[in-house]
Structure formats: structure tokens, C-alpha cells
Amino acid sequence: MIVIVFIVWIVLVSILLQNLPWEVFLSFDITNKIAIIGVLVWVIFTLLFACYNLFSFLFSLIYRYKYKIGKNHSNTPPVALFYTCKNDFSKNAIIALKKQDYKNCNVYILDDSTDTNEIKSIDQFLKPFKKDINIIRRIDNEGYKAGNINNAIRIIGKKYKYICIIDADEIVPINFVTELVSIAEANPEYVFIQASHVQYGITEYSKSTGDGIDLHWNYFLPARNKNGFLFFYGHGALLRLKEIIDMGGIPEIVSEDIALTAAYRTKGLRGYFTHEVTSYVEVPLSYNSFRRKNRKIIQGTLEFYYKHSKQFFMSSNVPFFEKIDLVLASMTIYLPVIYLLFVLFLHVIMPLVSVIFNSTLIHAKYWGLTEFYFSNLFLWLVGFTIVSPLLYVIPSFIRQPIKSFFSIFRLGTIYLSSTVYFTRAFLDWFKKDKIDFIPTGDRSTVSKKIKFINSEFLIGLVLVAISIITQLPFLLALGLSLIFVPFLLKNNLKTKMSRFLTLIPFFIIFIILFNQPFEALGMIGMTGFLAMANP
């Protein structure tokens, strides 16, 4: 799959470069040459992700419907169910674990809660279940979630063959453990079995932004069983205990899931993703929770690359295509950061340079009328980079067209509105050593006294002003989404008006794509993160 991605990408780039009117390019002054080269680099870069998303989707479709894995229901080895929580305990999740039809298992609540009221509430709820449910707490919270799990492993020793890790907001069906164990017992070459997930919402915000939209799990991951780097996602998975003990435990960093998977691969071990077994995970409860969750992912992935990636990339046990797949998949997280840099380059830096050097910069609005941006070929490639990631949405649209339409538009606007926040999270990681660990079921709220005017709001106003002056509607979409930030933080889509307003920025992009495809240049690459949404 990765080989095909690069072959198609190289072919498209070659066709693009061969058809460029270089004689026109040579006639431009240095300012315009730099601007045009910057645009071409951006297009070439995002074409790679367009090809990546296209073939990830196609290969996942093939794998889902062509390949089946063996199961063994006769063996029932002992399993420890690790329910991890930190101030986000869910009674419904524990009740679901108690109802498992797999008899040879024990439930352990690994409680890292720091809120005394939360601790008392858990103890009160567990009183009737003292004989059936074990609770493990520790004095400190060192090592984040991985430290919590490692502590539990030291306590239980080697009495179980498997551990099943369940997140605080995760509700598993009655046959969840039974099905995962049957796959693991029939396929001993796999050290973990990762289940799929279906999202659910309990607040107005979560129902409006992700309920029923499961792009990443259904149509990105399946191909990774044979054609890429398969992640363990830190929850909803069954793991062989022996291999974890042999490795000295789970790496104690924020993104322990990717670090553990990389450690497995360096030893030649791998897991399996089953789309046939699902659990239910909660969409972030609020806009603030959504942003904090993605901040953790952005910074946690950087921490992994800095502290734990060298051995993985140097290992001869890991095929080269898996290393490339990991880089491309993780880089998708940073597309909003790269996009913002491109916007600054094209609409701030280059105009300033043109003033300094007293040159006339050919503005992006008029490039479509120049000979350099020459034909429908360029426009088709621009469209391809935007549309390709949206292929993941097709199955959801077929099942629930109206609901999926509104969810994707809102989710697109919400990611767009977080561009500046994500960029700040990226830069903040380089300024401090410790990352804030955000629990899965983060219930954090924003003060009702939040200032309506903040930095993102002001940046949005500036972009809207620039869009009016330059008549670039894609800047209007970005600016409006940023203006909505304080409103979203305070309102959380609780009103019909707020839910309607969040449709507008991404709707503008949708209109641009079909009516002014050249101006959609500014949005290339910004739809790629939708494929990775809420993993």
C-alpha cells in the first residue's frame, strides 16, 4: 500500500511539474518566484497525504470484506480486566464489565483519582460489589496511565494470561472479552488484539460533533493489519501479559500506546485490529475537553518521537514501509500547524516582503487568471487533495446522510477553529519538560467568566478583514471559525443557533470547492485530520 501511495504521488507530481509553463515563471521577479515555489511545495506535500488517504481507504475496504480471522472459543484462560480512571469514573462502564459473559476474568479498577469526592463516590458505589471487583490505588500518580497499569501488573503478578485495558468512558458489550480471547487463542502470533470503537454522545456538544461518525476505526485502521503500522490505542484491547512483563512494563510517557506498540515492533512482535468486535467510547463532552484531548495527543506524540522512537526507526525487525506509515499517520495530527504556517507565509510574510523589495506580488486571488496557473490539471489536483480524506465519510453518509452531513460540517469547523490552539500546543511542548495528562473522560469546563475577546478571536477578526480586502473566501472561513472560539468554549453547542453557526465556516469551504476551486488552495490538507478524528 505504501509503495503504491508513493508511486502514484510521484506520477502526479511529475505530471504537474512537466506541465508548468516555466518560461512564464522565469519572467517573474524574485518575490513572486518565492511565493509560487511556496505554493507548489504546499501542493506537492498535500498531494502525498491525498494519495495516502485514498489508498488507506481503498485497502481498508478490501481488507474488511476479504479477510477473516480464525477464532477459538474452547480455550478460556484467565483475564484481568483493567478499568483505568482518574476523576472520570463511570458507573455504566463498570456495570458493563460486570455483565461480561466470559467467566474466567476479574475486574480491577485502577483508580488514580485525586478528587476526594470522586474517591468517596467510587467507594460508595462499590460497596455491594466488594467480592466481585478489586480496586487498586497508589500513593503517587507517577508515570501517567502507564504507571497506573504497571503498578497493577506488579500487584497481580503472573496469574493471568491476558489483561484487557478499558478506558473510563468505555462501555463494552457483553461478549467483548469472549470475542477478543477467541481471536487471541486462535492466533498466538499476535501479542495484542485491538477492538474497534463506536462513538456515543451524552451532551449536546458530543451528540452534535461525533455521535455515529467512526471514520478512523472503520476505514483507516483495517488496512494496517497487512499494509502498515498497526497501533495499540491504549484501550479497548486485549494484551498478552507475559510480553509486557518481559519488556519491563509499559513505557511511562503520556502516549504510552504508541510507545508500547513501537517497543513490540522492535522485538518483531505485532498485534491485530478486529473491526468485528466493538466497544463504545464517549465523544469529548465539551469543546474545551476536545481541545485538551488533542493537545495531549499533539504533545504526547512529540514526546514519543523525542524519547522512544530512535530504537524503532533503527530496528531491522520493522519493515521500512511501517516506519513510513507511522510518520505519515502521526504527521496528520500536525497538518493544522503546517497549514497555519502556509497561511502566514502566503498572506502575511510574502506581502510584507513585496513591500520591502518594492515588488508587485501576484495575489493568490488572481493566480488562476495568470498563465502560470494554467489549466484544469492544477485545479483537479487541488480538488483531489481536499476530497480524498473525505472518502472516509462515504459509508456514514450512506447510513445516516443528514446526521453525517451536519456532524462532519461541525467537526470540520471545530478543527478549523482549533488551528491556532493546536499550533500553540505544538510550540508549548518545546518550552517545558512535563506534559499535562488529560484523562480520557475529561470533564473540565471553562469558567463562565471567560473573556469574549481572546487571542484567537482577535486573529479571527484580522483574517476576516483580510478576506474582505482580498476577496479570499477561504480566509473568511478560517477567520469566522476563530471568532467562534470564545462562543464555543462558553456555549458548547447547547443552542440551535450555536449549532447552526458552526456549520457556516465549513459550508463556505464546501461552496469554494465547487465554485472557486482555485481559491480552495488555501484549504489543501486541512481535511486530512478528519480521518484521524477522535481515535
Question: Is residue 31 in a domain?
Answer: yes
Determine the average pLDDT of the residues in 491-516. Answer: 80
Which residue type does 439 have?
P
Decide: residue 148, CB within 10 A, 0-12 exposed, 13-18 middle, 19+ buried: buried
Q: What distance lies between CA 462 and its chain's CA centroid?
A: 29
- SS3 category, 396: helix
* CATH code for the domain in which residue 282 is found: 3.90.550.10
**Judgement on whether residues 181 and 252 belong to the same structural domain of the protein:** yes
Q: CA 526, 530, 534, 535: dihedral to nearest 10 degrees?
A: -110
Same domain for 253 and 106: yes
User: How confident is the prediction for the chain on average, in pLDDT?
Assistant: 82
Looking at 266, 284, 319, the residue that finishes a domain is 319
Query: By three-state DSSP, how is residue 166 classified?
Result: strand
Domain range for 40 is 2-62+334-532
In a domain, 292, yes or no: yes
Cβ-contact 413, 505 below 8 angstroms = yes
Structural domain total, the chain: 2
- Is-contact 376 450, C-beta < 8 A? no
CB 6 within 8 A of CB 232: no
Beta bridge partners of 194: 237, 273
Residues 312 and 171 in one domain: yes
**Taken in order 141, 143, 148, 150, is the CA torsion positive or negative?**
negative
**Residues 388, 478 within the same domain:** yes
Read off the pLDDT of residues 301-341 as tens digits, 9 standing for 90 and up: 888 998 888 999 999 999 999 999 999 988 888 877 887 78
Chosen domain end from 292, 319, 346: 319
Does 354 fall in a domain?
yes
pTM for this prediction = 0.85
Do 38 and 170 belong to one domain?
A: no
Question: Mind listing the pLDDT tens digit for each residue in 397-440?
Answer: 777 777 777 877 888 888 888 888 888 888 888 877 556 656 55
Domain boundary among 294, 319, 344: 319
> Are 357 and 240 members of one domain?
no
The three grid cell numbers given for residue 530, joined into one nine-digit string: 478528519
Tell whether the model's pLDDT for residue 211 goes beyond 70: no
Helices (H), 276-431: 287-307, 309-314, 320-331, 335-344, 350-356, 364-367, 376-387, 394-399, 401-417, 419-429
